[in-house]
Each structure stands twice: as structure tokens, then as C-alpha cells.
């Protein structure tokens, strides 16, 4: 017998496709649109869809929207419609919502929708909305007031939820379909830190790297001066020496490419323009080990001739203060320098730091103070920690394990979700912990199979939590 949500499957797919077509990455504010017009248009599309389904909706000044279903003690479902910038390296238009069964490198087979936001977080938001519609259409009357809150600034500061808390009442309990399965009982604390490194006057004509603080830097480009350009040959010679050493150590192993940096990033040099380009692999800022950081490779190269870059490399990449040794049950601290630019003769680097849930941001602050560099915290989210045996997480896990035939336990992650805005909240889906992630990467996609799973699990969970 088909699941109650199956009758809406084609509508779910078409609605995700339409939502993906909005480039809802952060843009300059315009009157009435604090995060740009396309983000406001995407919110209007979503709320109009919910309104046509018969739900009560609210648009709070294009910061955040809300869908209401039922009466009683409130239960929050928190999702978002904004996305990180598309970046480069796509084989499908990032805002095209194209459908096919192509398999990308390391990807999953089967039909899928391609585009930025398909998994983070437009796809899950749409799937959740149709799960609520399925419940409503069958006459289910929740004994709690479901407040489905959809933000427009999750990726770049959470101003959306801050505004919501000013104009409405945030529930104490709920979940966010914006992470991974199984349920997440703990999330690391998050700090975005700008640190400043005075550069030698004759090192660079220009330098820029990265697109977002929570995306591993995939591209770093510097235009060198005459005096610094001479170090390229020295750098290439060192790479050749390392390649020779690798060959001796590894026997018949493949020789290292002369244009591969120490951390695996690829690099190229244009003699005519004195431009050196490092190309890495993007990944979510919470899992830098899944990417290859192009900025780190650039800093390692520039350490040969610039004291500011050398200092940045020591503090942020070589971890001279031992920050990356900090750990608890939620894992090790991660530190990913993701964005860089030159301002007033200094290299300004934005670093994404995820610290273990039982530790404090003050420990991170002290490490930067001990390093002696100028710094400022530009963004902070406190850690999340909930009882993994509590009612909320137990209910979600029971539904998940029953539905998937697994026997998983709740997990801890380095990512940050809206769940930490709640007194008792957790991230729940859509990715699987043991699968290759495409979130915050080129060629993000959601499979038809995952869409079905989301609709069915969120339907069952809402029913269990509100019956």
C-alpha cells in the first residue's frame, strides 16, 4: 500500500524545481527585502504554496515566514530558503532545477534534481510542507500548534530568527530538517573569526580567495609583484623535489604532479600576468577534511616571501596554539580559513571554527590572544546539547529506525542548525551520515528516493509528536 504522501510526489518534485530557480544567496538589501529581492521572492513563493494548501501563513517583513497548523502547545519545525553562493565547477546550472539520472563523481544513481538548495535546505522545506499537507488532507487534527518557520538568512548570520523572536513567540521544542539522519543531539559551537596580517609592501598586486565563511575555499588567486614572482620557480623546484622523494618512498606509486600543492590543491601560473591560481575542493565548513583548501595552499606558497602570510599559515594552518587538539564526544575542533582579501595593507582572513559542544568560545578567544595577532569574532553560535534519551529525540529515532529498518543512535555534528535556537531542539535529516555530501559544493542534488524518504519520515514524526 502506498504511503499517504506518495500521491503528492510529482507536486513535491515540481515545487522543489521552482524553488531552486530563485538565486536566494545573500544580496544587498533593497527596500522591503533585507536579503535581496530574489530571496524575498522565494519566500513569497513558499508561503503562497502553503496558503493554497489551506494553511495559515505569516510573512514577517521578508526576514522569515511561518506556516501554522493545529492548536495547543507549540512545536517548531525550522527550515530555511536562503542558500550559499553557487561557486564554480557545476555540470548543471546551479539555479536550473534540472532533472536527470546522471551520476557525478562519487555520487548516487537514480533520478535526481540538481541545483543549489536541493538538499540545503529548499528540498527538505518543500518535502516537509507536503508532509503537513498529507496530514491535513486526511483530516488529522494535531493536538499541538505546529509552527513551521522558514528563515531567509540561515547561511549568513541568522538575522531572520532574531527578527522572528522580536515579532513572534519561538516555541521551546522542535526539529530542523537541515542536517543529517539520524537525529542530532549535539552540535558544536561556531565562531567566525576575522584575523589581520600586515603584508610586505612588495608582495602582491592583488589577492582574493573564497566565497563564504562556511564553505571550504575552493579557489585562491594572487597577482604577484616582480619581486615575489621569482619565488614561483623556487616553489616549483621544491614540489619537484618532494615528488622525487614521494617516488622513492612509495616505489611504483604515482609521481606527484609538479603543480600539486602540499595539501593536494592544484596550482597554475600565468607568467604574462604574474597570476598564481590555486584550486581546491569545496566542502561544508563544518567538515573541512572533506575538502581541499586552496587558501591554505596559497598561504603556504606565500610564506616563502611574505611575513604576514607566513604568520597566517602558522596560526591558522599549522595550529601553533594547539586549538585543533580540543575535543569531546562531539569530536575535535575544526578550523578552516575560508575567505581572504587585502584591506589597508593587511591580509584579512575569515576562519570558520567549530568547537566541541562542552567547551566555550572563550577558549578560542584566548588562543588568538596568545598568538598576538589582531582578530575579531564576527559571528557566534552557542553549542547545542540535548539528552539523546529524551522524549523528542527518542520519538524521532523510533520513527527513523522503524522506517529505515536500521538500529542507529542519535549523533553529534560540527554543523550548526536552527535547532540551537530552541530550548530543546535537534537537527533531523535530510542527508545520511554515511553518504557523500554535496551540500555547499558544486553539483548539489537531491535524489527522488531521498525526497520520498523525507516526505514519509517527516509525516510520521509530526504525527507522533502531535497526536
Kindly report the CATH number assigned to the domain that includes residue 57: 3.40.630.10
135 lies in a domain? Answer: yes
Determine the pLDDT at residue 166. 98
Residue 401 sits in the same domain as residue 321: no
- pLDDT per residue over 411-424, tens digit each? 998 888 999 999 99
- Give 147-188 as a DSSP string: EEEEES-TTTT-HHHHHHHHHS---SEEEESSEEES-EEEE-
User: Across the chain, what does the average pLDDT equal?
Assistant: 94
Which of 381, 415, 430 terminates a domain? The answer is: 381
Where is the domain boundary, 381, 403, 430? 381
What count of residues does the chain have? Answer: 467
Question: Which one of 351, 381, 411 terminates a domain?
Answer: 381
Residues 151 and 223 in one domain: no
Higher pLDDT, 398 or 157: 398
The Cα diameter of the chain in Å comes to 74
Distance, in Å, from the CA atom of 435 to the CA atom of 290, rounded to the nearest integer, reads 12
For residue 209, give its domain range: 190-381
**Separation between Cα atoms, residue 107 and residue 459, nearest integer Å:** 27
> Are 104 and 435 spatial neighbours (Cβ–Cβ below 8 Å)?
no
In the structure grid, which three cell numbers stand for residue 356, read together?
A: 566541541
Q: How far apart are CA 111 and CA 149, in angstroms?
A: 29
Do 46 and 130 sit in the same domain of this protein? yes
Residues 65 and 195 placed together within one structural domain of the fold? no
Are 170 and 290 members of one domain?
no
What is the spatial distance between Cα 44 and Cα 11, in angstroms, rounded to a whole number?
18
Judge if 106 and 197 occupy the same domain: no
| Domain contains 37 | yes
The model carries a pTM of 0.79
Nearest-CA neighbor of 180 among 384, 436, 368? 436
- The reply to whether 275 and 321 lie within a common domain is yes
Are both 291 and 277 inside the same structural domain? yes
| pLDDT tens per residue across span 47-76 | 999 999 999 999 999 999 999 999 999 999
In a domain? residue 441: yes
> 346 and 390: one domain?
no
> Could you tell me if residue 1 is inside a domain?
no
In a domain, 365, yes or no: yes
Considering the domain architecture, whether residues 159 and 280 belong to the same structural domain is answered as no
Quick: pLDDT tens for 395-404: 999 999 999 9
Answer yes or no: is 210 within a domain. yes
What is the end-to-end Cα distance of the chain in Å, rounded?
Answer: 23
The CATH number linked to 374 is: 3.30.70.360
pLDDT value of position 249: 45
How many DSSP H helices and E strands does the chain contain? 11, 24
Residue 256's pLDDT is 52
Per-residue pLDDT, 248 = 46
pLDDT digits (tens, 9 = 90+) for 187-240: 999 999 999 999 999 999 999 999 999 999 999 999 999 999 999 999 998 877
What is the predicted pLDDT for the residue at 245? 56
Whether 309 maps to a domain, the answer reads yes
Same domain, 274 and 418: no
Residue pLDDT, tens place only, 336-393: 999 999 999 999 999 999 999 999 999 999 999 999 999 999 999 999 999 999 999 9
Q: How many independent structural domains does the chain possess?
A: 2
Q: From CA 265, how far away is CA 299, in angstroms rounded?
A: 12
**Same domain as 35, residue 184:** yes
Q: Is residue 372, in this structure, part of any structural domain at all?
A: yes
Amino acid at each position: 500500500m502506498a504511503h499517504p504522501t506518495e500521491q503528492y510526489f510529482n507536486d513535491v518534485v515540481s515545487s522543489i524545481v521552482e524553488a531552486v530557480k530563485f538565486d536566494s544567496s545573500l544580496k544587498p538589501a533593497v527596500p522591503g527585502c533585507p536579503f535581496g529581492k530574489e530571496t524575498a521572492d522565494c519566500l513569497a513563493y513558499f508561503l503562497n504554496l502553503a496558503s493554497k494548501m489551506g494553511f495559515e501563513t505569516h510573512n514577517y517583513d521578508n526576514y522569515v515566514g511561518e506556516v501554522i497548523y493545529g492548536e495547543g502547545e507549540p512545536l517548531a519545525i525550522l527550515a530555511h530558503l536562503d542558500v550559499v553562493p553557487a561557486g564554480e565547477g557545476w555540470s548543471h546550472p546551479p539555479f536550473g532545477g534540472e532533472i536527470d539520472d546522471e551520476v557525478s563523481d562519487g555520487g548516487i544513481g537514480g533520478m535526481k534534481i540538481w541545483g543549489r538548495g536541493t538538499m540545503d535546505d529548499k528540498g527538505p522545506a518543500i518535502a516537509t510542507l507536503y508532509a503537513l499537507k498529507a496530514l491535513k488532507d486526511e483530516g488529522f487534527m494535531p493536538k499541538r500548534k505546529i509552527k513551521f518557520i522558514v528563515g531567509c538568512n540561515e547561511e549568513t548570520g541568522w538575522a531572520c530568527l532574531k527578527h522572528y523572536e522580536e515579532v513572534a513567540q519561538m516555541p521551546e521544542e522542535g526539529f530542523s530538517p537541515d542536517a543529517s539522519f539520524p537525529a542530532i543531539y549535539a552540535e558544536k559551537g561556531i565562531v567566525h573569526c576575522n584575523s589581520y596580517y600586515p603584508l610586505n609592501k612588495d608582495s602582491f598586486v592583488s589577492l582574493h580567495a573564497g566565497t563564504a565563511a562556511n564553505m571550504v575555499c575552493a579557489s585562491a588567486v594572487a597577482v604577484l609583484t616582480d619581486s615575489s614572482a621569482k619565488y614561483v620557480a623556487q616553489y616549483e623546484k621544491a614540489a619537484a623535489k618532494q615528488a622525487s622523494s614521494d617516488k622513492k618512498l612509495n616505489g611504483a606509486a604515482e609521481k606527484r604532479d609538479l603543480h600539486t600543492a602540499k595539501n593536494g590543491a592544484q596550482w597554475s601560473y600565468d607568467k604574462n600576468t604574474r597570476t598564481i591560481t590555486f584550486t581546491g575542493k569545496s566542502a561544508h565548513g563544518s567538515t573541512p577534511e572533506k575538502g581541499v583548501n586552496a587558501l591554505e595552499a596559497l598561504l603556504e606558497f606565500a610564506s616563502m616571501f611574505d611575513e604576514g602570510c607566513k604568520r597566517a599559515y602558522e596560526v591558522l594552518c599549522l595550529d601553533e596554539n594547539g586549538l585543533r587538539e580540543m575535543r569531546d564526544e562531539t569530536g575535535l575542533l575544526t578550523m578552516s580559513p575560508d575567505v581572504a582579501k587585502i584591506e589597508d595593507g593587511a591580509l584579512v582572513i575569515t576562519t570558520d571554527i567549530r568547537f566541541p559542544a562542552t567547551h566555550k568560545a572563550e577558549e578560542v578567544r584566548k588562543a588568538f590572544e596568545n598568538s598576538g595577532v589582531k582578530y575579531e569574532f564576527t559571528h557566534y553560535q552557542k553549542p547545542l546539547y540535548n539528552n539523546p534519551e529524551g522524549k523528542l529525540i527518542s520519538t524521532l529515532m523510533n520513527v527513523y529506525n522503524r522506517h529505515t529498518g536500521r538500529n542507529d543512535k542519535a549523533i553529534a555534528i560540527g554543523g550548526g542548525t536552527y535547532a540551537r535556537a530552541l530550548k530543546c531542539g535537534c537537527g533531523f535529516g535530510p542527508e545520511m551520515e554515511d553518504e557523500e555530501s554535496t551540500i555547499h559544493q558544486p553539483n548539489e542534488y537531491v535524489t527522488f528516493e531521498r525526497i520520498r524518504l523525507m516526505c514519509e519520515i517527516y509525516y510520521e514524526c509530526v504525527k507522533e509528536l502531535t497526536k
